[in-house]
Structure 1
């Protein structure tokens, strides 16, 4: 080989090496640690109290833990199938959910009510019906007369309990309104699904942002429970860091940040008492501080809606969270 060819090979090798170092450096800058998972919460029944868990399985439909999946059950109007939530029946937040793993039962408890037990193998034997969340409808199973009577008595309205079966139908997430916010490629459509959430399978919140809301209000009015996240992150640099997140990674599990979460008045309900805040907080303060420009002028934003952008996998409290 001539000296000329050797020189060319040497130059080419140097260019490749520099490019490789540059790629690694850019990847390192992009993939930076942004916090630690401090809580994981599964809400088996929409609007009812969540269950804190140490680890959970991430699926396209949301978090799962043991036999429970996030918002697989929903309380609905007996006639219309329209969802019933704490927006109109705030005492529903006092319904406590737990799992009897030996009996494979979901246990529901509420003030002045006997315990309701839902056999997790029986909902699929119920009558097929339709459940509606805002303008989005999906086929579901009715959990039967006992559950209907229990919620009707507790909420003092005609109510029934519905069960979402992924094998029976898919419920797509809200239309891609988040593309103005996140211009990266959205995950494959197979992962853009949810059960009975308002619109997306995951909600992540930053605990420093919760603290900032209280600072803005001027008193300790809210906790993370008011905002009902699935994933709570601590050890972030500052409040509202999440506004800059576009893609997240935990271990080998990846999430796409679809959009900021528009907030209604539901966080005004005290999750410990079921009483609506008389000063309409934190909603009024969020209206002053969290109306993000060029996005949604109707609703204040708090937290970020996520979609799974990888295969299923386990995440745990204490896991580090990276931007990617």
Structure 2
């Protein structure tokens, strides 16, 4: 009997800087700790604590795209684009923006309310840091990670954008970097500066179903919400709504992923990524319809089982046991 759905990879999204706008790609390299180039950079305050859209919603208005050397081009309203030199860590490279190029110039297209479940209070060493880089310890949700500070111009650029002093830091090869929350991982699983796990997957059908529920609620004027509210890495089409609740493992092309846990959502999802304003949705609707184990959930956290390349259009195989 033919299956009623044929899941496929519908979209790929890479966010080079944590909590900053990213880019859509046609393909991406999967590393043990996530998509190549995803959330390897983070902003920190004067104490070394990671700064996110939870406390700095204006980060939504900035955007980062990759350069061939591992650096970035930064964009934000009212500021000139800025190129940030790569840290020289090597590796497999990053995805290129869809329709754009990883080149040497900006020619490319285009207070905390929840604490992610990392909670592993350890101090970790970073590999392959450039010898001339300034070291810094980043505190991200209870874990301390060694990182390298970017050029001061990048920190000044973000400080002007936010109106508060911040610094931009980079994580080298994360092979021995942040451990994934052991309650939802296996020994040796690591993650970059993502909240808790290497990747996040959502489905088009669940996204559409959520927007339909929002349209029936008290804050229908806030919808429909765009996908970028949820900052996924992988977007899968061709499934039934909420089918991902039953997933235990998936493969995308030749790359396998363990489904670790549902993604608990926070105030960032209420932040308009084009204005930085905040509303009630989708948290109000998730609270009514998608409360699991006390958390408001949308999407699933993933851990790669092997490395490889995934691309839009790849067949997604789903395993539920």
Q: What TM-score range do you get, normalising by the shorter chain?
A: 0.7 to 0.9
1:59 pairs with 2:56: no
> Which residue does 1:121 correspond to in 2?
87
Deviation at 1:54, TM superposition (A): 0.4
CA contact (8 A) 1:49 1:93 kept: yes
Deviation at 1:150, TM superposition (A): 1.1
Deviation at 1:166, TM superposition (A): 2.0
Residue-by-residue CA offset, 1:148-188 (whole Å, 9 max, x unaligned): 21111110111000100126841101121x4xxxxxxx65x
Deviation at 1:62, TM superposition (A): 0.6
Q: Give aligned pairs, total.
A: 272
1:274 pairs with 2:270: no
CA contact (8 A) 2:17 2:39 kept: yes
Q: Pairwise mapping of residues 1-324 of structure 1 onto structure 2 (< 5 A)?
A: 35-64=7-36, 69-77=37-45, 79-101=46-68, 105-121=71-87, 124=130, 125-166=132-173, 169-176=176-183, 178=184, 189-190=187-188, 192-218=189-215, 219=220, 220-236=223-239, 238-277=240-279, 280-292=280-292, 295=293, 297=294, 299-310=295-306, 312-324=307-319
Partners of 1:99 and 1:39 in 2: CA distance: 18
TM-score scaled by length of structure 1: 0.79
> Which residue does 2:121 correspond to in 1?
none
TM-score scaled by length of structure 2: 0.80
Change (3 A) 1:116 1:274: same
SS of residue matched to 2:50? coil
Partners of 2:152 and 2:177 in 1: CA distance: 26
CA contact (8 A) 1:33 1:322 kept: no
RMSD (Å) for aligned C-alpha atoms: 2.2
SS of residue matched to 1:259? strand
Deviation at 1:104, TM superposition (A): 5.5
Larger Rg: 1
Higher share of residues assigned helix: 1
CA contact (8 A) 2:174 2:191 kept: no
CA contact (8 A) 1:139 1:168 kept: no
Partners of 1:37 and 1:107 in 2: CA distance: 27
Deviation at 1:100, TM superposition (A): 3.6
Deviation at 1:83, TM superposition (A): 1.0
CA contact (8 A) 2:16 2:66 kept: no
Which stretches in structure 2 are left out of the alignment for 5+ residues? 89-128
